[in-house]
C-alpha cells in the first residue's frame, strides 16, 4: 500500500508540473484523480498503521495544496489561451 501511495503521489506531482507547463483539460482531470488517489491511500495508511494524524495530515494537505494550485494555474492558462 505504501508503494502505491508513493507512486500516486509522484505521478500526481509530475503530471501537475507537466500540466502547469503545457496545460490540457485531460491532464488536469488525470492529475486531480491521482491527487485524490494519493489522499485516499494516505487515509487508509493512517488508519491501518495508526500513524501520527497531525504530522501526516499536515504533509498531505501541503502536497494536495501544491498540486491543486498548479492545476488551477494550468486551468486558467488553458482558459486564457482558448479565449484568444
CB atoms within 10 A of CB 64: 18
Task: Over range 7-25, report the average pLDDT.
Answer: 94
| Integer-rounded Cα radius of gyration of the chain | 14
What does the mean pLDDT of the chain come to?
89
Q: pLDDT, tens digit, for every residue of 18-37?
A: 999 999 989 989 998 999 99
Contact 30, 15 (CB under 8 A): yes
Joined grid coordinates for residue 19:
500540466
pLDDT, one tens digit per residue, over 50-71 is 877 777 788 888 998 999 999 9
User: Is residue 49 pLDDT above 70, yes or no?
Assistant: yes
Amino acid at each position: 500500500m505504501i508503494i502505491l501511495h508513493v507512486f500516486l503521489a509522484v505521478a500526481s506531482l509530475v503530471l501537475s508540473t507537466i500540466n502547469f507547463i503545457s496545460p490540457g483539460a485531460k491532464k488536469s482531470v488525470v492529475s486531480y484523480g491521482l491527487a485524490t488517489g494519493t489522499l485516499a491511500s494516505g487515509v487508509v495508511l493512517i488508519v491501518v498503521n495508526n500513524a501520527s494524524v497531525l504530522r501526516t495530515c499536515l504533509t498531505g494537505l501541503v502536497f494536495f495544496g501544491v498540486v491543486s494550485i498548479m492545476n488551477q494555474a494550468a486551468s486558467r492558462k488553458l482558459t486564457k489561451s482558448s479565449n484568444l
